[in-house]
Amino acid sequence: MQKYSRWRQVVKGLFDKRRHESKILVTGSGKLDDYRHGGDSLQGRFFSYRLHPFTLSEISSGDRDDLLALLRFGGFPEPFLQASERETRRWSRDYRSRVIHEDLRSLENVKDIALVERNRVFFS
């Protein structure tokens, strides 16, 4: 819904008119936090939850195989649960692309996005 420029107004209207008959869940990247400071406030209408990648204690009793899987596939649910190196690479590539092309570009004035992509040190 973030690609629809008036999504906040839609959510605000639904909440204000139908709060007792509807439950609304809005998911997205960290970029949603930045909308708190902008135009059409949803203040008082939502609770924010930050979801972090799995930790070793959440996925097991802490045995070595689980630790190796966590290190190999990462803690994000999709690649971890698929346990496929190919899917982990695909997910990681898509994630980096979204961060660079959507989140970073929409929040910052980036003149040369290709330079950011070539210097992916912060994604290693």
Please tell me the pTM assigned to this model.
Answer: 0.54
Tokens 């708190």, located at residue: 36
Say which amino acid occupies 73. Answer: F
Per-residue confidence in pLDDT tens, the chain, 124 aa: 456 677 778 888 888 888 888 888 777 665 555 555 555 567 677 777 777 899 998 988 768 899 999 999 999 888 999 999 999 999 988 887 777 766 665 655 556 666 655 665 554 4
Report the distance separating Cα 80 and Cα 43, nearest Å: 34
Residue-level pLDDT at 19: 83
Report the distance separating Cα 42 and Cα 7, nearest Å: 11
